[in-house]
């Protein structure tokens, strides 16, 4: 038994890796992420500035509003898009990446000359000829192609991480290198090494800062084993999952705070509703299922089955909306509050007033929260007990003259509880992670509403943090369900 649970616990790690890997990869390729949204905002601001300034030569040359490469680099680094998604094979060829980028910098002269020609072409007075329009479009395409090629090569150098530092240092120290190459290499090193100098300062000052760092530190290219580890750890997923195992879930883009600090304030609310719902659903469903099994075919069984199946067919969030309309002071009765966890003046209420206010805010969400679980567990309890009542050992117990009460509660019920333990792990997960739509309907500021808002605002760190917490609790819940199996029925042994 102990060996089985140890194996299950160890198996939870690769399962967790698989869950997070699939979700993380999908998120990286979903359009409309936080970086795209920031780019749209930035372009809108630049458009307004351009209109206020009656246009700029840079906009003419690009055929519209373009975001500077430096700004794009900062945005990619902030949102974690400056590295490959899974494996970073750039770390194996840092010198080739640096050499390719330095050689391609000759293209900057071509970009500047084409931009000058385009500005001169578009600045002509009078009506623009068709030939000039065609030439202008051709120049724009050439400028865009050259710039994208340079940006791609620069991104590969950035993705090399620390492995590119020795090659960049050689460029900085090379007195034969032109100022453009030294400037670009110095800028990359300043950002990588986080040196205390601005990239907008003079070239001599930047070079001095880099060279002083090089004199005080030993620069060596990592060995093969180190590069194998860096191939994984310096990809987006690798660096993220390593932080997760160090209990660092990242920083929220929406709240500008650590994800864990944002999430931990929401747990008490969801745990409260989850625990109350779990206690109520098992307290009601087990006796009701037993009574339905004993009274199978009676009017009570038929009537309760109709109610149970109607409840199962209604989504919890839809029922919650209906209850708010009927009982929340809408067009009908003003019996319960429209939502929230507590009243705004809860802190100033008396002890019993606080209890009543909390119960008042709990009733409708709990009904919506547990309606489907209530129906499922009731029918599962009934069917499981009826199956056990038809077994030979039950008939033998009756034949021995035992009372119906003792046979049902002393023999059949214990074995009938085994299927109910199957879903207990899921319910435990619901206790901690809440319900997205129900918390949204009732405006309950819990874990579920936080996850819902993170989806709407594309706050990927919180989405992934939500996934990490939910996956870990779900996996541990499944193991806990197995433990309950063994506790309910000693005949069960996992081998």
SS (H, E, C) 389-422: HCCHHHHHHHHCCCCHHHHHHHHHHHHHCCHHHC
* Of 404, 381, 391, 392, nearest in space to 287 by CA: 381
pLDDT band at 60 (very low <50, low <70, confident <90, very high): very low
Residue with tokens 């019993």: 352
* Of 103, 93, 101, 224, nearest in space to 160 by CA: 93
Residue 495: predicted pLDDT: 58
Q: Which residues pair with 328 in a beta bridge?
A: 334
* Displacement of CA 462 from its chain's centroid (Å): 5
CA angle 97, 84, 145 (to 5 degrees): 60
**Taking every pair of C-alpha atoms in the chain, what is the biggest distance, in angstroms?**
111
CA distance 374 to 385: 17
Angle between helices 130-159 and 94-104 (to 10 degrees): 150
pLDDT digits (tens, 9 = 90+) for 107-153: 777 778 877 877 777 776 656 567 777 878 888 888 888 888 888 88
Q: Which of 20-29, 174-183, 342-351, 415-424 has the lowest mean pLDDT?
A: 415-424
What is the number of other CB atoms lying within 10 angstroms of the CB of residue 331?
6
Percent helix, strand and coil across the chain, each to the nearest 5:
75, 0, 25
Residue 460: predicted pLDDT: 85
Average pLDDT over residues 264-280: 83
pLDDT digits (tens, 9 = 90+) for 86-97: 888 888 888 888
Residue 163 and residue 226 in contact, taking contact as beta carbons nearer than 8 Å: no
Q: Which residues pair with 251 in a beta bridge?
A: 258
Length of the chain: 495
Average pLDDT over residues 231-242: 88
Task: Give the burial class of 387: count Cβ atoms within 10 A of its Cβ; 0-12 exposed, 13-18 middle, 19 or more buried.
Answer: middle
Residue 178: predicted pLDDT: 81
Scored b (16 or more CB within 10 A) or e, 181-198 reads bbbbbbbbbbebbebebe
Residue 304: predicted pLDDT: 87
Coil vs helix vs strand at 359: helix
Task: Give the burial class of 495: count Cβ atoms within 10 A of its Cβ; 0-12 exposed, 13-18 middle, 19 or more buried.
Answer: exposed
E strand or H helix at 135, and its extent? Answer: helix 130-159
Residue 185 and residue 193 in contact, taking contact as beta carbons nearer than 8 Å: no
Average pLDDT of the chain to the nearest whole number = 80
Residue 380: predicted pLDDT: 85
Query: What residues contact residue 177 under an 8 Å CB cut-off, 6+ apart?
Result: 102, 171, 185
The residue ranges of every structural domain in the chain are 68-246, 267-445
Using the 8-state DSSP alphabet, how is residue 123 labeled? T
Q: What is the CA radius of gyration of the chain?
A: 33
Average pLDDT over residues 336-349: 81
pLDDT band at 54 (very low <50, low <70, confident <90, very high): very low
Q: Which residues pair with 430 in a beta bridge?
A: none
**203 pLDDT more than 70:** yes
* More confident: 412 or 432: 412
Coil vs helix vs strand at 435: coil
Express as a percent the part of the chain with pLDDT over 70: 88
Average pLDDT over residues 212-223: 81
**394 pLDDT more than 50:** yes
Average pLDDT over residues 478-484: 77
Using the 8-state DSSP alphabet, how is residue 163 labeled? G
* Of 429, 424, 328, nearest in space to 380 by CA: 424
**427 pLDDT more than 80:** no
Q: Which two tokens stand for residue 349?
A: 């209420």
* Of 371, 282, 280, nearest in space to 318 by CA: 371
* Of 458, 459, 463, nearest in space to 447 by CA: 463
Residue 492: predicted pLDDT: 65
**0.85 surpassed by pTM:** no
CATH number of this structure's domain 267-445, picked from the four choices 1.10.3720.10, 3.40.980.10, 3.30.565.10, 1.10.510.10: 1.10.3720.10
**52 pLDDT more than 50:** no
Coil vs helix vs strand at 251: strand
Tell me the Ramachandran region of residue 63: left when phi exceeds 0, alpha when psi lies from -120 to 50, beta otherwise. Answer: left
pLDDT band at 57 (very low <50, low <70, confident <90, very high): very low
Distances in Å between the Cα of 251 and the Cα atoms of 79, 127, 132, 194, 464 are 10, 53, 50, 20, 11
CA distance 128 to 188: 42
Residue 99 and residue 154 in contact, taking contact as beta carbons nearer than 8 Å: no
Express as a percent the part of the chain with pLDDT over 90: 1
């Amino acid at each position: 038994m102990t060996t089985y649970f140890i194996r299950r616990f160890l198996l939870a790690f690769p399962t967790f890796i698989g869950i997070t890997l699939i979700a993380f990869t999908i998120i990286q390729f979903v359009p409309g992420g936080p970086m795209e949204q920031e780019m749209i905002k930035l372009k809108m601001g630049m458009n307004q500035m351009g209109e206020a300034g009656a246009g700029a030569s840079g906009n003419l040359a690009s055929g519209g509003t373009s975001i500077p490469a430096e700004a794009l680099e900062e945005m990619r680094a902030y949102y974690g898009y400056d590295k490959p998604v899974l494996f970073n094979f750039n770390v194996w060829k840092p010198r080739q990446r640096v050499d390719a980028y330095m050689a391609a910098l000759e293209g900057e002269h071509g970009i500047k000359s084409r931009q000058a020609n385009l500005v001169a072409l578009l600045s002509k007075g009078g009506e623009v000829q068709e030939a000039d329009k065609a030439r202008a479009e051709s120049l724009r395409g050439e400028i865009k192609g050259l710039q994208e090629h340079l940006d791609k090569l620069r991104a590969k150098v950035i993705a090399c991480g620390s492995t590119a530092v020795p090659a960049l240092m050689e460029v900085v120290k090379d007195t034969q290198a032109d100022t453009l190459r030294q400037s670009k290499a110095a800028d990359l090193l300043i950002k990588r090494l986080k040196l205390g100098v601005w990239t907008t300062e003079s070239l001599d000052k930047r070079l001095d800062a880099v060279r002083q760092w090089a004199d005080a530190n030993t620069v060596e290219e990592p060995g093969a084993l180190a590069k194998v580890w860096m191939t994984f750890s310096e990809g987006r997923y690798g660096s993220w999952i390593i932080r997760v195992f160090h209990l660092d879930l990242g920083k929220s883009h929406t709240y500008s705070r650590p994800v864990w600090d944002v999430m931990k304030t929401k747990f008490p609310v969801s745990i409260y509703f989850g625990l109350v719902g779990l206690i109520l659903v098992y307290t009601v469903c087990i006796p009701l299922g037993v009574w339905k099994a004993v009274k199978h075919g009676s009017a009570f069984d038929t009537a309760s089955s109709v109610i149970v199946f109607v409840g199962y067919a209604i989504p919890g969030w839809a029922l919650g909306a209906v209850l708010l309309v009927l009982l929340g002071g809408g067009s009908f009765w003003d019996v319960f509050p429209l939502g929230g966890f507590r009243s705004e003046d809860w802190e100033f209420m008396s002890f019993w007033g606080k209890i009543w206010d909390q119960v008042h805010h709990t009733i409708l969400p709990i009904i919506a929260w547990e309606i489907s679980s209530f129906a499922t567990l009731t029918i599962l309890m009934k069917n499981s007990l009826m199956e056990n009542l038809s077994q030979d050992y039950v008939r033998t117990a009756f034949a021995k003259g035992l009372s119906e009460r003792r046979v049902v509660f002393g023999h059949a019920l214990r074995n009938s509880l085994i299927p109910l333990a199957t879903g207990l792990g899921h319910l435990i997960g619901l206790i901690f992670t809440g319900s997205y739509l129900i918390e949204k309907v009732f405006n309950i500021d819990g874990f579920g509403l936080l996850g819902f808002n993170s989806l709407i605002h594309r706050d990927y760190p919180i989405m992934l943090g939500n996934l990490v917490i939910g996956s870990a609790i779900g996996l541990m819940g499944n193991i806990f369900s197995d433990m309950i199996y063994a506790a309910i029925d000693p005949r069960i042994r996992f081998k």
